[in-house]
Structures are given as C-alpha cells and as structure tokens.
C-alpha cells in the first residue's frame, strides 16, 4: 500500500501525452485486452480523447502522486449504463494506487449503479474493484484487440 498523497484532477489535453505513453506498456496492453485496434497510433488517441474530454457525460480524472501523473480514471456511459475504466503507469503497479484512487474517485463520481469490467486473467484489476466494494455479477465475451481473439471478461457492479 502506498503512503504517498494521491490527488485526482480533471484530465486536460495537456495530460494526454503522458497518459498515452502509459498505455504503450506491452504488459498493460495485454492485461487491459480491450484496447483500440492500434494502441500505438498517437494521433488517433489524441483525437479520440480530446473529444472525450469535451463530453459532459464522461468524468475523466488524472491520478497524481506527489505532483507526478501516475494514471487515469474515468466514468463513461456504455449502452445506457455507467462504467468505470482506469489505467496506472506500469512502474506504479502493486502499490495500492489503483485501489486508493478508485476509492477517491467514487467519492466524487456518485452515479450508481456503476459497472466495471476486467479480462478474465487480469486479477489485479479484479482485486481493485473488489477492494472498492464492487461485486462480481457475471461474465461476457468480446473481441480483445490486444490479443486478437475473443476472450471472457468479468463484470462487476457497485450499487451503493
């Protein structure tokens, strides 16, 4: 568990190059599984996320520790339901940062129910959601661009 000070701030276009860089980690891409078709296409990333930052239905937050960007969190709508997503820079994995940041995020993002999904073998992400009160409610299958195959994902729900 980290003892550092975690801060969340609304994501701005200036944060995007750093957040894009985090998403270049091969292990992170594999575990996230459901990535864009070409996670190395920086222009497409910048175009997509610049539009998402302007969408008032999306709550994009940047995770900071002691003045350094270490990841991102967001609430977005998918098929009429609120979902969360998060990404932590690989060098900060295993320190409890994702759990602490998600707990803070859930204090400011009050939409309930809210859902989360993780690839069947992304045990770290599953543990983060469980530690934040999400309950496993089922599974789904979908094509994972990062793996170029259909895989199972675990669906979680936070009701309160």
Q: How confident is the model over 41-78, as pLDDT tens digits? A: 999 999 999 999 999 999 999 999 999 999 999 999 99
Chain Cα centroid distance, residue 105: 11
Instruction: Tell me what pLDDT residue 2 has.
Output: 46
Task: Convert the pLDDT of each residue in 62-118 to its tens digit.
Answer: 999 999 999 999 999 998 999 999 999 999 999 999 999 999 999 999 999 999 999
Given 3.40.930.10, 3.40.50.1980, 1.10.443.10, 3.40.630.30, which CATH number is that of 6-158?
A: 3.40.630.30
Q: Which residue has the higher pLDDT, 1 or 66?
A: 66
- Categorise residue 88: left if φ over 0, alpha if ψ from -120 to 50, beta otherwise: beta
**What is the reported pLDDT for 40?**
87
Who has greater pLDDT, 2 or 130?
A: 130
Contact 8, 104 (CB under 8 A): yes
Say how many CA atoms lie within 13 Å of 92 toward its Cβ: 23
> How many alpha carbons lie under 13 Å from residue 135 in its C-beta half-sphere?
5
**Model confidence at 8: pLDDT above 60:** yes
User: CB–CB of 88/70 below 8 Å?
Assistant: yes
pTM of this structure: 0.92
For the chain, the domains span 6-158
């Amino acid at each position: 568990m980290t003892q550092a000070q975690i801060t969340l701030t609304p994501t701005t276009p200036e944060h995007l190059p750093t957040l894009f860089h985090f998403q270049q980690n091969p292990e992170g891409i594999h575990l996230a599984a459901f990535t864009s078709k070409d996670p190395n296409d920086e222009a497409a990333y910048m175009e997509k996320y610049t539009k998402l930052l302007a969408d008032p239905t999306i709550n994009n937050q940047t995770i900071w520790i002691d003045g350094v960007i270490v990841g991102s969190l967001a609430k977005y709508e998918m098929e009429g339901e609120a979902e969360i997503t998060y990404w932590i820079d690989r060098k900060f994995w295993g320190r409890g940062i994702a759990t602490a940041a998600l707990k803070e995020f859930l204090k400011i993002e009050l939409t309930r129910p809210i859902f989360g999904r993780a690839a069947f073998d992304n045990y770290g992400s599953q543990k983060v959601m469980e530690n934040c009160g999400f309950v496993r409610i089922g599974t789904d299958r979908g094509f994972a661009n990062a793996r170029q195959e259909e895989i199972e994902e675990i669906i979680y729900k936070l009701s309160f």
